[in-house]
Chains A and B, each alone.
Chain A
């Protein structure tokens, strides 16, 4: 049974999540991938204001395909997360509480998640047309010149994801593979 949660995430919500939990996320999340992460961290280092409030924020690693006429957004599945690992610890230090992507994170990110109380979720990579149905509104709020890599504010309803890493060090990828590995 999936847990219904709201974004931005409160500390209380994040604390209760465990690796392996299925969740349905509703509320506001922000898109950001490679180049957007570079710009966000450059802005933080320069003491500039970010295009959205990081406190409790959830960033979805996605570069959607263009919306057809009548669509809110095109196909919108997750991209591979490790490419954001160089930037994520600083964002968590400044308030980021959730990340949605796919694939394994590196140790510095896992350490920062424990330290700052953040959650890493996976969405199903390649289920991009299915996921798009849970996105009810989308608008570019920064870095429009980056095209698919621009930062978008998304309003989502029951966006399906799975908790991969919780703030206690639980890791669903490790647990799942250990269970099914055969020598």
Chain B
């Protein structure tokens, strides 16, 4: 049994919250640069240039890329040979979020109740998803998720008869209906299979993939390729002002299915596609 200190986990989470919000991933920066090469709209080009400038300012001054520093979604892979010393694992995560969002001058965007809407003032609770895995490591991924693009997300219970084309239609239509709202160019996360809630989690998790990476299953790699082409024909463009670059990537995660179902979830991420990870 390996022991990991409560404070070590808390400090790691705090740092991940700050780094994820201020340091945009190299893959996203590269996607902006690649987008500049293919964007035909002058307004679209101008916006992509501004996003590159913004990313530099955020990096240099360690200030948030976007004022919506998101809901702290935390993905854990906990080795079955790990024990937390000095407190509970989930408390360490929550306290890390409090520290990160406070010390990092990140915005506190969570209200305690959906109807009463009083701010919790420390950005907790984090949303935590845990996998228990073999070994004595602890992997932590922090994925701050903005609200504007989350609002453009949807789950649809399709049938087997709808097939791949049914999924493609739903995904393209969901992006089309989102128009300028989710801060395009977006990253489109697609979950297919599982139960109602599982497919939404698959869509969220797919957003952690590196832009430019190819799906390991050729069937889904082809669907992703077709989907990004169709989405980028919509003409929405950067910030919805018209253009070629509506999405930077479409990512699919598939999972086994019940014989009666084929759920599909679309989770939209704005261009501030933020996530950082560490293994302790």
Chain A residues closer than 8 Å to B100, beta-carbon distance: none
Chain B residues closer than 8 Å to A74, beta-carbon distance: 63-64, 67, 105, 107
Which single member of B40, B241, B272 contacts A173 (CB below 8 Å)? Answer: B241
Chain B residues closer than 8 Å to A179, beta-carbon distance: 41, 235, 242
> Do residues A180 and B108 form an inter-chain contact, with CB atoms below 8 A?
no
Given A65-B63, A74-B67, is A127 in contact with B242 using a C-beta cutoff of 8 Å?
A: no
Bits for B96-113, please: 1 = Cβ < 8 Å to A, else 0.
000000000111110000
| Most chain A C-beta atoms within 10 Å of own C-beta, residue among B53, B67, B68, B121 | B67
Bits for A67-91, please: 1 = Cβ < 8 Å to B, else 0.
1100100111101101000000000
Which single member of B151, B244, B272 contacts A180 (CB below 8 Å)? Answer: B244
Q: How far is the CA of A114 from the CA of B230 in the complex (A)?
A: 35
Chain B residues closer than 8 Å to A68, beta-carbon distance: 63, 105
> Do residues B235 and A182 form an inter-chain contact, with CB atoms below 8 A?
yes
B179 within 8 A of A: yes
Chain A residues closer than 8 Å to B225, beta-carbon distance: none
> How many residues of chain B get a CB closer than 8 Å to chain A's CBs?
47
| Most chain B C-beta atoms within 10 Å of own C-beta, residue among A146, A172, A176, A179 | A176
> Do residues B242 and A64 form an inter-chain contact, with CB atoms below 8 A?
no
Chain B residues closer than 8 Å to A162, beta-carbon distance: 43, 241
> Do residues B63 and A104 form an inter-chain contact, with CB atoms below 8 A?
no
B58 nearest CB neighbor, chain A only: A129
> Do residues A103 and B180 form an inter-chain contact, with CB atoms below 8 A?
yes
> Do residues A125 and B183 form an inter-chain contact, with CB atoms below 8 A?
yes
B30 within 8 A of A: no
| New contact pairs (17) apart from A122-B239, A177-B179, CB-CB < 8 Å | A75-B64, A79-B148, A80-B148, A104-B179, A122-B180, A122-B241, A124-B50, A125-B66, A127-B51, A129-B54, A147-B108, A172-B241, A173-B241, A176-B237, A176-B241, A180-B40, A180-B243
Task: Name A residues whose Cβ lies closer than 8 Å to a Cβ of B.
Answer: 35, 62-68, 71, 74-77, 79-80, 82, 102-104, 122, 124-130, 132-133, 146-149, 162, 172-173, 175-183
**What are 30 sample pairs from A and B whose C-beta atoms fall under 8 A apart?**
A63-B68, A63-B107, A64-B107, A65-B67, A65-B69, A67-B105, A71-B63, A74-B63, A74-B67, A75-B64, A80-B151, A82-B181, A103-B148, A103-B181, A125-B148, A126-B51, A126-B65, A127-B51, A127-B53, A127-B54, A129-B57, A129-B61, A130-B57, A148-B119, A173-B240, A176-B242, A177-B179, A178-B242, A180-B235, A180-B243
